[in-house]
């Protein structure tokens, strides 16, 4: 088996974020919510970033969302992405309220628009890591 020349940049499944990536690997989106003030916290931390309470509880949230903004990247310099252009780097706003960075897949770059409804795509990136991509939501 050959080693790829440039490894894909992947998150470390560790610390505060480990439950998030483990859930994504099981095709679910889970985030911590503060039990004191109700704030949903993205990216995950083990304390509330609004009221500083340590009481947070992980809960599953819906993957339904809309494109908040995006950019079609025609020139990348991270080596792994160089032969992936053009690709769509985007921020998706989930119905639960958080806005998360992602890659938009499954549609022509010229068809992407702000406000477009999207749904998750669970993209296996390595033995350990599944990434959370999005694609246009089927009606």
Partner 1 sequence: MSGSGGIAGIAVAGVYEHPRRSAPDKTAYQIAAESARGALEDAGLRLSDVDGYATSGVGPIGVLSMCHHLNLRPDWIDSTAIGGSSFVAQVLNAAAAIRAGLCTTVLVTYGSTAASDRFAVGTGGGSAGDPPDSFDVPYGPTIVGAYGMVAQRHMHEYGTTSAQLAEVAVTMRRHAGLNPDAKYREPITADDVLASRVISSPLHLLDCCVISDGGGALVITAEERARDLAKPVVRVLGGGMAVRHPGIGVRDITDIAARQSGKKAFERSGVRHEDVDLCMIYDSFTITVVETLENLGFCELGEGGPFVQGGRIGLGGALPVNLDGGGLSSNHPGMRGIFLVIEATRQLRGECGARQVENAEIALCHGTGGFLGIRHSGATLLLGRA
Contact residues: partner 1, CB under 8 A: 8-12, 15-17, 39-43, 45, 49-50, 68-78, 81, 84, 87, 89-91, 97-103, 109, 114-115, 125, 131, 133
CB of residue 57 to partner 1, shortest distance in Å: 15
Q: Taking a C-beta distance cutoff of 8 angstroms, is the pair 40, 61 a contact?
A: yes
Query: Would you say 27 or 84 has its CB closer to partner 1?
Result: 84
CB of residue 15 to partner 1, shortest distance in Å: 7
CB of residue 58 to partner 1, shortest distance in Å: 15
- Taken in order 101, 34, 65, 30, the sign of the CA dihedral is positive
Distance in angstroms (rounded) separating the CA atoms of residues 109 and 37: 39
Main-chain phi, psi angles of 8, to 5 degrees? -70, 135
Per DSSP, the three-state class of 95 is coil
Query: Would you say 26 or 38 has its CB closer to partner 1?
Result: 38
Query: Would you say 57 or 75 has its CB closer to partner 1?
Result: 75
Both tokens of 5, joined, read: 């020349």
């Amino acid at each position: 088996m050959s080693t790829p020349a440039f490894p894909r940049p992947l998150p470390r499944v560790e610390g505060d974020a480990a439950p998030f990536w483990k859930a994504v690997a099981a095709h679910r989106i889970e985030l911590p919510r503060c039990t004191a003030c109700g704030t949903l916290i993205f990216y995950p931390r083990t304390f509330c970033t609004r009221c500083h309470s340590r009481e947070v509880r992980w809960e599953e949230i819906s993957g339904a969302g809309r494109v908040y903004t995006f950019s079609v990247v025609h020139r990348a310099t991270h080596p792994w992405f160089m032969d992936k252009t053009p690709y769509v780097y985007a921020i998706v706003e989930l119905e639960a309220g958080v806005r998360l960075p992602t890659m938009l897949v499954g549609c022509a770059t010229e068809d992407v628009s702000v406000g477009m409804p999207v749904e998750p795509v669970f993209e296996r990136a390595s033995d350990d890591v599944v990434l959370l991509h999005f694609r246009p939501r089927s009606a």
